[in-house]
Structure 1
Amino acid sequence: MNKLTTMELFDIKSKIYTIRDKHVMLDRDLALLYGVETKRINEAVRNNPRLFTEQGVYMLATILKSKVASEITVSIIKRRT
């Protein structure tokens, strides 16, 4: 098993965002972490619905794509530890 260095852990923590009191990572950041294409992450989510709850996975996409999103400010705050 690979052990992550302190720098790698810091880099991962910097990719975690807090949105409406939920900690989230973007699909592109997960893809970089796992060394795969972004579309592979999205395929995994689509093909394994029991492992990825719709509420958790699609919350950000729904907020950003909705009509209301253009009328409100969605504040993305990087999580600080």
Structure 2
Amino acid sequence: MANKDLKLLIEEGKILNKIYTIRREKVMLDQDLAVLYGVETKQLKRQVKRNIERFPRDFMFTLSVKEFENLRSQTGTSSWGGSRYRPMAFSEQGVAMLSSILTSKTAIEVNISIIRVFTKLRQHALTHKEILIQLARLEREVKGNSKDIENIFIVL
């Protein structure tokens, strides 16, 4: 494996570890995106608020108090550490929209990487769904065959 491929895998792994499922939606949090983009979280939030019309609810939402507490308990963040404000969560479309308001070279490169990871996740999910459908079909066939096999043994 080439050094470039290894670096890409490591970067994709870092991004993948920052994708959470909240409200049955795959999202990334403002603080994680800010780190990846090399900006302060408050700067990212400020830019989003200035351009809020670009971020409908299916692109970005603010975590509820309960979701925020649940996330903190899952990630092991102490109550005195991290942000005191509830994070913004960005869907794949929200992350794509961020590229229109954060235009640094780093932000553009990171955005491309994030979108590629989301695309791979979607492809894996579709493959997984196809496998489950095929397994269900096989299970139905085996159940039908097992009755036939049972009848053969009875006849024998």
Q: Distance in 1 between matches of 2:70 and 2:34?
A: 24
Match in the other structure for 1:19? 22
| Bigger relative contact order (CA 8 A; separation at least 6) | 1
Per the normalisation by structure 2, the TM-score is: 0.36
Is 2:48 aligned against 1:45?
Answer: yes
Q: Specify every segment of 5 or more residues in structure 2 that has no aligned partner in the other structure, as ranges.
A: 1-6, 75-120, 125-156
Q: Which has the higher helix share?
A: 2
Name structure 1 gaps, 5 residues minimum. none
TM superposition score normalised by structure 1: 0.65
Give the secondary structure class of the aligned counterpart of 2:53.
coil
Q: Which has the larger radius of gyration?
A: 2
Tell me the number of residue pairs that the alignment of Structure 1 and Structure 2 aligns: 68
Identity %: 38
The structure 1 segments of at least 4 consecutive aligned residues displaced by more than 4 Å after TM superposition are 73-77
Q: Which amino acid aligns with 1:15?
A: K
